[in-house]
Chain A
């Protein structure tokens, strides 16, 4: 039986899943208003992930930070995220880390093409069923292309 290890995280009330191999690191986010507004050019001086910063310097690489809740218009007010999940060269802010688990491919359902097309969610490729909830499986590469295409500031 084929399986996949999936990293399940939470943003607001939405559960997201990533293949474990796509996730490089997870860092805690610190909040300090002064340091949170450092500019991209200052990245080399940034040793921690500050709450509202748009970049984080890690091993000589500038990691751009994005906020999916803003992309989905969920985050209207001040919100403190707890973690930063890092892929190859960018990261997303999270509220919680839920689990890393092995799932059978049979448990994964393809995300409806209609919703992908209608809502421009081509980066969601599948879903996992959880108790009274659903985990949306995301491909970070396609998400990156989507963010670049929509002109999101951070990418």
Chain B
């Protein structure tokens, strides 16, 4: 392969990288959500978690995983004000770990679906009223919402006030 061709390929790859994001698709209840893979630090399972005694409803507890203390977070309490994970039924649930401002959050979920390279042009913008989503896309005929976790977490400070 000559040098020119090699360079062209490299440039094309870079462009592709810029125009796409990698996401992980998860299911919570009957809804499908996506989280950018670059935000993820791991995946875990709820085992021996401790219910945080004075926490709000969306904090289902804390758990030591991979040498970190994880805050188990039920985002449906924020998005729909309904709990997917009642305190007694949380054992064995899965979570994806996201680090935000020095804190590790375990986003509770029912099922890990897949990872996907998503071209930015595939993302459909959402109306401003859907403030917790960065956009949507279709996956196997399902509507998937890309979560804006930073906004969701920041919103909890507002609720708590």
A14 contacts chain B at the CB level, 8 A cutoff: yes
Residues on A with beta carbons closer than 8 Å to the beta carbon of B69: 109-112, 127
Residues on A with beta carbons closer than 8 Å to the beta carbon of B100: 114
B108 to chain A, nearest CB (A): 16
Secondary structure at the A interface, as helix, strand, loop or mixed, is mixed
Assuming A127-B69, A132-B50, A134-B62, is B55 touching A114 (CB within 8 A)?
Answer: no
- Once the chains bind, are A114 and B64 in contact (CB under 8 Å)? no
User: Among A79-87, A89-97, A115-123, which stretch is in contact with chain B?
Assistant: A115-123
User: Among B14-22, B118-126, B138-146, B153-161, which stretch is in contact with chain A?
Assistant: B153-161
**Interface extent on A, as a size class?**
20 to 34
CA distance A27 to B156 in the complex (A): 40
> Which residues of chain A have a CB within 8 Å of any CB of chain B?
12-14, 72-74, 109-115, 117-119, 121, 127, 129, 132-134
> Which residues of chain B have a CB within 8 Å of any CB of chain A?
48, 50, 52-56, 59, 62, 64, 68-69, 71, 100-105, 153, 156-157, 160
Can you name 11 A-B pairs with beta carbons within 8 Å? Answer: A109-B69, A114-B71, A114-B100, A115-B52, A118-B157, A119-B55, A119-B160, A127-B62, A127-B69, A132-B50, A133-B50
